[in-house]
Structure 1
Amino acid sequence: MPLTSSLIPAVNNIKSQILALWLSVSNNKTITTAAANKKISIFAALAFMSLYLIYNKFILPPPQIRHLPRAGFFEFVSSISKKRPYDEILKEITGPLAAKTDHGMYTAFSLVTGWAVYVTRPEAAKKLLLKTDLFPKHAPPKDKKDTILSKFIMGPNIISLPQGTQWKNQRIVNSQSSLLIPKFYNRFHRSMPIQLFGELAQKLFVEWDKEVDSLSIDVFDFMTRWTLDVIGIAGFDFNFNAIEEKDNEWVDRYNHIIKATFSPFFLLFPFFDSPYWGFLFPKRKRSHDELDLFLNKMQEIIVHKRQILENSDGISTVNKSTTEKDLLTLMLEAAKEENGKITDEEIKSNLCGFFIAGHDTTATAISNAMYNLATHPEVQEKAREEAIRVLGDQPEDVLPTLEQIKEMPYIQMVIKETLRRNTVLQSILARVVTEDTDLAGCVLTKGTRVGIDMMALHRNPLIWEDPETFKPERFAPGGEAEAVNKKHGTSWIPFSNGARMCIGINFSLNEQRVFLPMLLKKYELSLPDDSNHKEKLITTAISILKPVNLQINLKRRY
């Protein structure tokens, strides 16, 4: 809930008084008893205002959804803040709530969108994602304006923009699917950087092979570094060099920004995350400064790239061994053809969206796949046999081609089953109901926010047989997944669905299709004897469900 007009003057008055006291203390002035009492009054007013906002915005859900099963605010947020694995939250909190009704919906509080209704059944998910007139994407909240989250993610990009002219101007109708897709991404799909994926995988293996005595690696750490280099070069022709230098200036800056973006305190209290309150949060001010440096660097690269394109064919200058074009080049080409309809601000915002959609998410997906291969040796061996059949068994790294990755269907099944069982995202970005409507037997009123509990959908025992078991064969032709989809529809949606499907679906899947065969050809995977993931994969529970301290042993085959 944004500050009401009646509260704004009071807040301004409190801020000015706090600032005066702050300056008084910093100048070593004597604080009189009157000043001390004044200080107490100010902070008491702040405390009262905070309690008022907390109770009305956080603790109580909106009246129109209070009839639905509810995850208690303190219980749910406490579970999130304690970093409990999300499958435990599903089992103990949200799953039982979903089971209370025929429609399977429940309400819970999100640090990003506030109170929302969550869908757990495919029939409801299908209508929610495909009926974009009834359930458009929720517009960025006004109370998050000027926050790091807003400046970095919620700009004029095809991920965050609600349906409207600006969103549609960035998209075209795909002749095969009849769906609106990004104009520049349509080009990017045709120019998928398969060779880049392979080259950076080779570079990663070189780093792994430096560990002569032990090849037990922190999987997620290495995969985030690999995907950051992939995104940087494929996105805007910038090499973070994260694989070789994990703590260099630009890697540290990017990691700092990501951590700051999803800070629970500032997600919960976005009105403190602005220059307005910078004097109270100097560390947060530094985060804003780091983001400004990052965005300015992007703008500098955009200007430089445009100059290069005027005198060249747009071939990457960083990745000189390939003629695969980076996303920025394709966006600039599209902007030129559209006579400037795509602005620099939109280009920069879409690059930021590309990072959010394709960095930690893909790193998590590959890490999860490596865990499943390490804990299912029979699956690992079958996948390796397929990789060797296509790539050969010579003792050298072979970069798969686009044609070759299509010849490895079993590895594709491993990827899909991993994305089902080990869900990457907690939920899709919220949709908002535009008019009173029935959703799978549940009446939702106008203005209600609705999301999808991805793990609850992907592990729904009413839909999937033995849903917690890892079985790649589910996705074989004519297998369970095909039957489930025919019967229910929209029961496997790791990239969402419909007009707002993740733009990075093919990019992410092809990263995995290239990396995993190369990995299996060169290494055998196993868990350390003392792994805390012996029983199950332990993940975080905020937004992206990342594996926690996942160590995997790698045994070189050559």
Structure 2
Amino acid sequence: MSLLQNSFLEVPLKNALVLYNKEVVPRLTKKNKTISISVAVALSLIYLIREKVLKPPKHLRHIPYISYLDSIKAILTRESAWDRSYRVFLPEIDQKNHSIFLEQARLGWIVHVANPKDARRIFLKIDQFPKLQPKIEHKDTVSSKFLGGPNILMLNGPEWKKHRMVANPAFHRSLPVKMFGKLTQDMIKVMDEMEGTINISDLLHRWTLEAIGKAGFDFEFNAIKDRDSEWIIRYNKINQGLRDPKFFFFPLLDSKWRWMFPGRNKIHQELDIFLKMLDDVIAKKKEAIKHGLHNEVLDDNEKDLLTLMIESEESGEGGLNNEELKSTLCIFFLAGHDTTAGALSFAVHYLAQNQDIQQKAREEAIRILGDDKCDVLPTVEQTKEMTYINQIIKETLRINGPATRIIPRISTEDAEFSGLFIPKGTQVTVNIFAIQHSEKVWKDAHIFNPDRFEDGGEASQVESMAWTPFGNGARQCIGMNFSMSEQRVMLAMLLRKYTWKTPENSIHKDGPKVFGLGILSPHNLDINFQKRY
């Protein structure tokens, strides 16, 4: 017998069912509809975010990729490129065995090439992998105004070749080691006036700024003697503006929505003043050369790069207009200031941490330059004899190269890297840091060892693209020899003048603490220097 047939319960149950259908069901249905719609919308948003933002496009999903959330985390925490490379990129190649992987970058998903063999193709096939051009909507950003003009770094094809034809002879002729030596004397005088621990990374940034100003276009920033000079303050503000992660990764904040950030407008104003200064310098330099008023007594290798580029026009080698010259000078700052300062700072750090290597390098400097109790300015010929110091520089650039990757390229046709299909139109980059730190490429890759670069050493046995701090191929950094000469002069003169070590309470005692999104440098590198004379 069913429960409803029980006369005792039949009426109350019927009444309860009527009440449930009449009052409860309609309310539940309405509420459930709202819940259902909300859940559907939420799930749709989650799906769209997951499929369209957090995941690569479908045609790239066969390639291992790093979560976009990790990129956001790095931006929010201001994680340095050094720390992120160790935390994320090196495990991809040394533990997960991924020498090709994807990352969501500033201009979209980009393929990282982290092995020498595939890197070779990107470096050597410049027509298949030209430089990626900035988007039109990013034209009014600080980085675009400073770096995105018609210059040798960003152009492709015939226009790039024109710039290269003008810049190449200038860089081959310009090797102002005497000027580097005199500026090092100025820095040593400042160091001698300082007591106790010296923030050498700050001094070297000021030194390289003065060097690029003098060597680039014969302009004095007065950066070495006066850390509060007008131009060093202005340039440092611009430099900090270029490094600001929120504007770098979200360029529309720096153009369309700049009105929301009053401080950003001030950076743009400082940059406008700086660019106007370059305009004036170029105009005056052209006028002086036209009327024969520039300094003719200097040897070719001691002339500034702007003079040499303008003279190339007079000699029939072709020329650049004022806008092109200005844009090229800006690139000299990018390629010749922070990069060399960072490399020198790291070299000083590793010599402080390895007293035996420091002493061996000092003995070479003394053998070449003598041990008289006075500053000696190296000659071009003497810098070429500094074999061991050169090994130190190369090993520093391997383990702490200023650039962690190359500027993005775009694949103009379908390609294949390490068995993975790379569709036409894909952004690609060579992850220099990952290759130069990989245990698959270098033995004990995280140990500083200049002997790798001695004749017949490890560097001569690894693949040719295993060491590429300046890139490689036709688009290799045009200032490589310029920077290497700067570093040889500075290190040789410091080694003759001082011995140095890391203070016991330094944050760098157990390894360099690094900052920087793109160009790496030790943060406030404190060193104890002891004068030898």
TM-score, with length taken from structure 1: 0.83
Structure 1 partner of 2:108: 114
Distance 2:517 2:261 in 1: 23
Which stretch has the larger CA shift, 350-359 or 250-259? 250-259
SS in 2 for 1:499: helix
The CA deviation at 1:188 is: 3.0
Q: How does 1:229-248 map to 2 (within 5 A)?
A: 229-248=210-229
The CA deviation at 1:335 is: 3.1
1:304 correspondence with 2:298: no
SS in 1 for 2:259: coil
Contact 1:149 1:262 in 2 (8 A): no
Of 148, 151, 158, 2:145 maps to: 151
Across the aligned residues of Structure 1 and Structure 2, the Cα RMSD in angstroms comes to 2.4
Distance 2:495 2:227 in 1: 24
Contact 2:94 2:439 in 1 (8 A): no
Structure 2 partner of 1:333: 311
Contact 2:64 2:101 in 1 (8 A): yes
Contact 2:500 2:528 in 1 (8 A): yes
Q: How does 1:145-544 map to 2 (within 5 A)?
A: 145-161=139-155, 163-172=156-165, 183-211=166-194, 213-214=195-196, 216-274=197-255, 276-312=256-292, 314-315=294-295, 324-338=302-316, 341-484=319-462, 488-544=463-519
Structure 2 partner of 1:104: 99
SS in 1 for 2:111: strand
Distance 1:99 1:376 in 2: 27
The CA deviation at 1:447 is: 1.0
SS in 2 for 1:438: strand
Amino acid at match of 1:289: Q
Structure 1 partner of 2:84: 89
Distance 2:299 2:266 in 1: 38
Distance 2:296 2:224 in 1: 19
Structure 2 partner of 1:180: none
Amino acid at match of 1:270: P
Structure 2 partner of 1:6: none
Distance 1:81 1:334 in 2: 47
The CA deviation at 1:85 is: 5.0
Which whole-Å deviations, capped at 9, do the CAs of 1:345-380 have from their partners, x for residues lacking one? 100000000000110000000000000100000000
Contact 2:340 2:483 in 1 (8 A): yes
Of 117, 124, 127, 2:121 maps to: 127
Structure 1 partner of 2:19: none
SS in 1 for 2:515: coil
Distance 1:339 1:421 in 2: 39
Contact 2:100 2:417 in 1 (8 A): no
Distance 2:88 2:499 in 1: 38
Contact 1:199 1:399 in 2 (8 A): yes
The CA deviation at 1:81 is: 4.3
Q: Which has the larger radius of gyration?
A: 2
Distance 1:53 1:312 in 2: 66
Which whole-Å deviations, capped at 9, do the CAs of 1:103-127 have from their partners, x for residues lacking one? 611112334x432111111001111
SS in 2 for 1:525: strand
Which stretch has the larger CA shift, 89-98 or 281-290? 89-98
Contact 1:195 1:322 in 2 (8 A): no
Amino acid at match of 2:409: R
SS in 2 for 1:367: helix
| Identical counterparts, % of pairs | 43
Distance 1:54 1:363 in 2: 41
CA spacing shift, 1:438–1:261, aligned 2, 3 Å: same
Distance 1:73 1:420 in 2: 28
Contact 1:103 1:441 in 2 (8 A): no
Structure 1 partner of 2:20: none
Distance 2:98 2:123 in 1: 16
Count of aligned pairs between the two proteins:
488
SS in 2 for 1:531: coil
Structure 1 partner of 2:70: 75
Contact 1:70 1:108 in 2 (8 A): yes
Contact 2:369 2:378 in 1 (8 A): yes
The CA deviation at 1:238 is: 0.7
Distance 1:58 1:141 in 2: 19
Contact 1:77 1:109 in 2 (8 A): no
Note the residue ranges of structure 1 that are not aligned, 5 or more in a row.
1-50, 173-182
1:547 correspondence with 2:522: yes
Structure 1 partner of 2:37: none
Contact 2:177 2:489 in 1 (8 A): yes
Distance 2:96 2:134 in 1: 31
- Higher relative helix content: 2
Distance 2:526 2:424 in 1: 47
The CA deviation at 1:291 is: 1.0
Contact 1:316 1:324 in 2 (8 A): no
Contact 1:80 1:542 in 2 (8 A): no
Distance 1:410 1:165 in 2: 40
Amino acid at match of 2:189: V
CA spacing shift, 1:528–1:100, aligned 2, 3 Å: closer
SS in 1 for 2:514: coil
